[in-house]
Amino acid sequence: MTLSIALLTVSDTRTLAEDRAGDALQRRLEAAGHCLAERRICPDDRYKIRACVSAWIADDTVQVVITSGGTGLTGRDGTPEAIEPLLDKCIDGFGELFRVLSFETIGTSSLQSRCLAGVANGSIVFVLPGSLDAVETAWDRLIQAQLDATTQPCNLVQLIPRLREAADRQAPKQLKRESAS
């Protein structure tokens, strides 16, 4: 199944021409048969990050959003704080598994990663560190398989049609209440 994926690089210093991590993600998602919905670079500003990601999760044509950068511990790093309030549900296992896999490469430095994933308005959102190694690890060892409908025993793709069930059930009730008033 081809998915529409939006990519956001969070950086105050990179341009698209210098965004090796974003390039790697784009190459990988296209090689896996997915389509790039849009790709942007955004400064390390939680409100600008939130605005960009909010627009994508409000867009019914974007099924997956992947951000890279801004997950560290410095004062400028605020991507998790920008994204977490947007999530309807967190996928806790993603961050846990990512840190285990990163430990193999960078050792105890992996504890500094605040990567996360979740679901927002029916879109799957991944928040990754900005290094090339981090995005390659995340895509190659976690994300690619979960965005492949053939991965067994289960994958995130098979859940996409069901991610908005609660919202879809609420809409008719809301319309009934509004028409009754």
Count of CB atoms within 10 A of residue 128's CB? 29
CA 89 to each of CA 25, 61, 110: distance values in angstroms, whole numbers, following the listed order: 24, 20, 24
Instruction: Kindly list the averaged pLDDT for each block of 10 residues, start to end, along the chain of length 181.
Output: 97 92 98 98 96 97 97 93 97 96 94 95 97 97 97 94 74 54 54
Rounded Cα distance, 35 and 96, in Å: 27
How many structural domains does the chain have? Answer: 1
CATH classification of the domain holding 36:
3.40.980.10
Rounded Cα distance, 94 and 64, in Å: 15
**Number of residues in the chain:** 181
Give the domain extent around 129.
Answer: 4-180
pLDDT at 169: 60
